[in-house]
């Protein structure tokens, strides 16, 4: 792998790490908002939607972690 491709992969890894951090922040904020809802709201539609959002954000974070690891592996195998 040439230097230009390695640089491109490193940049992509950095951008994915930043995106992962932003998604984790959003997930944590949504979790905090959910936790602060009265129990009746947590059990209702608003709480259900918040929990779905939290779960989706967690899935996105995990997907980015997998993508980062794969890119790092590609970078490591080609050096």
Instruction: Give per-residue pLDDT as tens, 6-31.
Output: 999 999 999 999 999 999 999 999 99
Q: 79 by DSSP, 3-state: which?
A: coil
- pLDDT tens sequence across 30-56: 999 999 999 999 999 999 999 999 999
- CA 31 to chain centroid: 14
Helices (H) and strands (E) in the chain, counts: 3, 0
- Who's near 65: CB < 8 A, 6+ residues apart? 20
pTM (two decimals)? 0.88
61-77: average pLDDT = 94
Q: What is the DSSP letter of 1?
A: -
Q: Are 13 and 72 in contact (CB under 8 A)?
A: yes
């Amino acid at each position: 792998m040439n230097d230009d491709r390695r640089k491109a992969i490193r940049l992509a890894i950095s951008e994915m790490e930043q995106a992962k951090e932003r998604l984790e922040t959003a997930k944590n904020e949504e979790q905090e908002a959910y936790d602060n809802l009265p129990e009746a709201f947590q059990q209702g539609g608003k709480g259900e939607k918040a929990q779905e959002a939290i779960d989706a954000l967690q899935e996105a974070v995990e997907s980015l972690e997998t993508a980062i690891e794969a890119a790092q592996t590609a970078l490591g195998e080609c050096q």
